[in-house]
């Protein structure tokens, strides 16, 4: 709505009727240097021809945004001086209409941008319109900027930035921050609320990134090695770096393997549910097999159990689960709850397939955490879905418990606190996610009541401040994969990918979370679940297709690298869905260190082989896996879960081929059906499912009455727990 308002205002003034009293728009002139001291572009006050157009005569005639030649060397701090004058001018215009007119006058001051510069490499990502930016260093070591856009409003933004920064020293360009431009409120609404204002931020960041690169090149400093990436286009995929090559190897799987799997699935009526973080070889085959057998689904952990129920409803007699053990436990329990206890559920290993988060929640220290919660009524235990059924059951007996995912945890906590006064919220077991949730609420506490009500209608600043004082989270649990997105990775992203789209799972450390949240605020990022990340990439690519112009989109993948198979499938599907003359490239960047892939040892593994085979084997890249966590490094990590990689294609075929298991050959592969009881003598399977069912009230129904019913059930339990103490 805000964007439409700005567009409507702009349209009114792009082709105004002739008016002899209209504001003049001086054109930017670049005057050749004739002296050894630099000839700088500076902002000069230019009076309007008709003073009656000045909305605030007491302040004197307004400035234009045009840059004019100055014969004098600029004093230190000239960009801040220029910015202060520009901000002062926009502040002096109380009416939104006048600010838009001024911005359009600024747009007219930009010189023609060379046609040769309108290339994808000069595009600024994340802007609503097309924006081109060129950056150079002159002979005096000062930065020279040129910009253009196909939108007059955006062009006006660019003109203001160029007028402030052109001719500045590199350190002056780098010291400015996006918030310095916060007072340039053009459309009469708060800057944070308007998507087009992201242009200030995105263009500035591109200016600063390219400034740093040019200065490093001029000083002979070695550039940082880029992260590996996959570049997806309508005509194919290009892998950059050995890690990306290892991932890309399985994106076009063997047709014989696909057919072999489909034949056995169809013959024995087997459904497959797999997590996004699966081994790339398995995902490549499963993604291709989906076209031939509909009962294959790849998703996040929550949806896996729901899809298993639908497969059972469609006649599948077995469900194979490609994930960690708590996922197969959830599938087993939810199928039983739905009345499909005769449908077999099988894991992909006869050994434990662990999870660092699930293990953390099963520890004695987590039980002490819950005991403290039980002694602080009224309390609600919000437990991450990535935990065992046994943990959910034991926790639910101690404290009323509801499960959450990374995509609904914030709304779950807000809704619970709105409906149960004086509630104490205990979140676990992911410490990073807990800290990130607390940081989100701290940020909300700085918002206005109106801004908060748009996030949740029953909250305001006072309620959020109260919630913060009552939120506790477990301090000793994390995902071993997301733990790798630490300081080293963040610094490299800032240096090399600050102008790219940034995605981050809610489980990442705080520094990565803050970086992604900053990108999110300017429309360049997403923080959430694996599905949220996939949807974000999908939506940005669709927007590029709708614009139908050449584009290069770059996404930093801030989660497990196994997601790339699903991302590639979605992007290729979109790029191939329509005929277009536009060339669109989508670059998926893996934040992994350069040594995250080891080479196979020709000494240990090539003995006795044909020499040609041994040479080929020695060249193979090994994706980090379960054997030894090959290549994982504190400088970036492998971003690959060793537990998930226990789900091999060989295991899947072996399990499927031996079904039905009449002689018990794969008994150890069968998912646990909990026949044990809780300390209070209740079924672990039944009690462990209750927190999941409570969450479904939040997930499946939008009506507040359903949320109230779920919270009312928890509230009643709180009373019962309090009475029993």
Q: Where are the beta strands (DSSP E) in 86-212?
A: 131-137, 143-149
Report the C-alpha gap between 321 and 168 in whole angstroms. Answer: 59
Would the pLDDT of 188 be above 60? no
Give 73 or 224, the one with higher predicted confidence: 224
Residue percentage of the chain with pLDDT more than 90: 42
DSSP three-state, residue 441: helix
DSSP three-state, residue 463: helix
**Which two tokens mark 482?**
């997301």
Mean pLDDT of 367-378: 95
Mean pLDDT of 65-71: 40
Would the pLDDT of 683 be above 70? yes
Which of 18-27, 480-489, 507-516: highest mean pLDDT?
Answer: 507-516
Give 641 or 412, the one with higher predicted confidence: 412
Amino acid 183: pLDDT: 65
Helices and strands in the chain, H and E counts: 27, 20
Mean pLDDT of 35-46: 38
Beta bridge partners of 104: none
CA distances from 696 to 71, 170, 274, 651, 686 (A): 69, 53, 20, 32, 15
Of 136, 183, 150, 145, which Cα lies nearest the Cα of 165? 145
Mean pLDDT of 13-33: 34
DSSP assignment string, 292-327: T-S-EEEE-HHHHHHHHHHHHHTT-SEEEEES-HHH
**Which two tokens mark 288?**
């291709």
**β-strands 598-599, 621-622 pairing:** antiparallel
Amino acid 383: pLDDT: 96
Residue 698: pLDDT band (50, 70, 90) is low
Amino acid 692: pLDDT: 87
Give 711 or 525, the one with higher predicted confidence: 525
Amino acid 41: pLDDT: 40
Of 547, 564, 565, 546, which Cα lies nearest the Cα of 555? 564
Mean pLDDT of 46-55: 39
Would the pLDDT of 358 be above 70? yes
Would the pLDDT of 35 be above 70? no
Would the pLDDT of 475 be above 80? yes
Mean pLDDT of 317-324: 96
The 10s digit of each residue's pLDDT in 410-431 is: 999 999 999 887 999 999 999 9
Of 93, 99, 85, which Cα lies nearest the Cα of 156? 99
The 10s digit of each residue's pLDDT in 246-263 is: 778 888 899 999 999 999
Active site members: 127
DSSP assignment string, 518-575: HHHHTTSEEEE-HHHHHHHHHHHHHHHHHHTS-EEEEEEEES-GGGHHHHHHHHHHHH
* Residues whose CB falls within 8 Å of the CB of residue 96, separated by 6 or more in sequence, listed in order: 9, 186, 187, 188, 189
Provide the 10 A C-beta neighbour count for residue 626.
18
Amino acid 679: pLDDT: 85
- Which long-range contacts (C-beta less than 8 Å, at least 24 apart) are formed by 600-606? none
Mean pLDDT of 116-126: 87
Residue 185: pLDDT band (50, 70, 90) is low
**Which two tokens mark 704?**
């507040």
Report the C-alpha gap between 44 and 38 in whole angstroms. Answer: 17
- Which of 167-176, 178-187, 480-489, 580-589 has the weakest average pLDDT? 178-187
The 10s digit of each residue's pLDDT in 270-293 is: 999 999 888 888 988 999 999 999
Report the C-alpha gap between 633 and 243 in whole angstroms. Answer: 14
Mean pLDDT of 674-684: 84
Would the pLDDT of 574 be above 50? yes
Residue percentage of the chain with pLDDT more than 70: 77
Amino acid 125: pLDDT: 85
Greatest CA separation found in the chain?
96
- Which of 206-210, 242-246, 255-259, 534-538 has the weakest average pLDDT? 242-246
The 10s digit of each residue's pLDDT in 510-533 is: 999 999 998 888 889 999 888 899
Q: What are the backbone dihedrals phi and psi of residue 314, each rounded to the nearest 5 degrees, phi first? A: -85, 0
540 within 8 A of 503, measured Cβ to Cβ: no
Which of 349-358, 623-632, 650-659, 704-713: highest mean pLDDT?
Answer: 650-659
Provide the 10 A C-beta neighbour count for residue 136.
11
434 within 8 A of 479, measured Cβ to Cβ: no
The 10s digit of each residue's pLDDT in 103-114 is: 889 899 888 899
Would the pLDDT of 709 be above 70? no
Amino acid 620: pLDDT: 39
Residue 127: pLDDT band (50, 70, 90) is confident
Of 293, 529, 511, which Cα lies nearest the Cα of 406? 529
Q: What are the backbone dihedrals phi and psi of residue 305, each rounded to the nearest 5 degrees, phi first? A: -65, -40
Mean pLDDT of 658-669: 94
Would the pLDDT of 21 be above 60? no
- What is the CA 682 to chain-centroid distance, rounded? 41
């Amino acid at each position: 709505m805000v964007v439409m308002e700005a567009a409507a205002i702009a349209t009114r003034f792009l082709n105004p009727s002739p008016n002899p009293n209209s504001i003049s728009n001086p054109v930017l002139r670049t005057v050749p240097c004739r002296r050894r001291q630099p000839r700088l572009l500076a902002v000069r006050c230019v009076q309007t021809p008709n003073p009656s157009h000045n909305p605030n005569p007491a302040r004197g005639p307004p400035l234009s945004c045009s840059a004019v030649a100055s014969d004098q060397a600029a004093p230190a701090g000239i960009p801040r001086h220029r910015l202060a004058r520009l901000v002062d001018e926009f502040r002096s215009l109380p009416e939104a209409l006048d600010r838009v007119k001024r911005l359009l006058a600024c747009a007219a001051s930009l010189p023609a941008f060379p046609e040769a510069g309108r290339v994808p490499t000069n595009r600024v990502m994340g802007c609503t319109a097309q924006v081109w930016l060129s950056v150079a260093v002159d002979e005096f070591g000062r930065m020279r900027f040129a910009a253009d856009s196909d939108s007059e409003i955006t062009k006006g933004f660019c003109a203001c930035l160029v007028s402030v920064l052109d001719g500045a020293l590199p350190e002056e360009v780098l010291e400015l921050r996006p918030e310095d431009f916060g007072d340039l409120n053009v459309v009469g609404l708060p800057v944070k609320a308007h998507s087009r204002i992201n242009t200030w931020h995105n263009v500035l960041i591109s200016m600063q990134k390219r400034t740093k690169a040019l200065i490093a090149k001029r000083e002979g400093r070695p550039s940082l090695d880029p992260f590996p990436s996959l570049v997806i286009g309508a005509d194919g995929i290009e892998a950059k770096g050995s890690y990306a090559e290892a991932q890309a190897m399985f994106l076009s799987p063997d047709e014989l393997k696909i057919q072999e799997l489909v034949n056995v699935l169809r013959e024995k009526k087997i459904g497959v549910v797999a997590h996004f973080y699966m081994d790339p070889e398995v995902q490549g085959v499963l993604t291709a097999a989906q076209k031939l057998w509909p009962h294959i689904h790849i998703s996040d952990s929550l949806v896996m159990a729901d899809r298993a129920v639908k497969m059972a409803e469609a006649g599948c007699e077995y469900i194979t689960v490609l994930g960690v053990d708590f996922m197969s436990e959830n599938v087993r329990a939810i199928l039983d709850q739905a009345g499909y206890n005769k449908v077999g559920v099988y894991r992909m290993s006869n050994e434990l397939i662990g999870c660092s988060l699930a293990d953390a929640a099963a520890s004695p220290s987590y039980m002490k955490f819950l005991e403290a919660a039980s002694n602080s009524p009224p309390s609600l235990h919000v437990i991450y879905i990535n935990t065992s059924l046994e943990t959910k059951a034991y926790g639910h007996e101690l404290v009323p418990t509801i499960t959450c995912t990374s995509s609904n945890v914030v709304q779950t906590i807000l809704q619970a606190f709105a409906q149960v006064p004086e509630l104490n919220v205990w979140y676990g077991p992911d410490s990073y996610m807990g800290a990130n949730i607390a940081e989100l609420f701290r940020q909300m506490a700085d918002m206005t009541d109106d801004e908060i009500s748009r996030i949740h209608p029953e909250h305001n600043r006072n309620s959020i401040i109260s919630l913060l004082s009552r939120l506790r989270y477990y301090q000793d649990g994390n995902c071993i994969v997301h733990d790798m997105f630490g300081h080293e990775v963040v610094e490299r992203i800032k240096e090399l990918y600050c102008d790219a789209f940034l995605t981050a799972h809610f489980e990442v450390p705080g520094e990565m979370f803050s970086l992604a949240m900053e990108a999110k605020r300017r429309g360049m990022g997403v923080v959430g679940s694996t599905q949220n990340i996939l949807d974000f990439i999908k939506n940005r690519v669709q927007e590029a297709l709708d614009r139908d112009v050449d584009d290069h989109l770059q996404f930093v993948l801030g989660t497990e690298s196994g997601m790339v198979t699903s991302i590639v499938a979605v992007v290729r599907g979109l790029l191939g869905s329509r005929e277009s003359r536009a060339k669109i490239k989508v670059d998926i960047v893996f934040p992994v260190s350069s040594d995250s892939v080891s080479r196979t040892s020709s000494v240990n593994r090539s003995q006795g082989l044909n020499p040609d085979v041994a040479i080929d084997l020695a060249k193979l890249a090994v994706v980090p896996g379960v054997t030894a966590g090959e290549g994982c490094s504190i400088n970036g990590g492998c971003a690959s879960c060793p537990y998930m990689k226990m789900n091999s294609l060989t295991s899947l075929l072996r399990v499927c081929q031996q079904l039905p298991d009449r002689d018990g050959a794969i008994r150890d592969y069968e998912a646990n059906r909990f026949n044990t009881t809780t300390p209070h003598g209740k079924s672990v399977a039944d009690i462990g499912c209750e927190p999941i069912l409570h969450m479904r009230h939040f997930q499946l129904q939008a009506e507040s009455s359903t949320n109230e019913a779920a919270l009312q059930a928890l509230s009643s339990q709180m009373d019962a727990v309090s009475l029993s103490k």
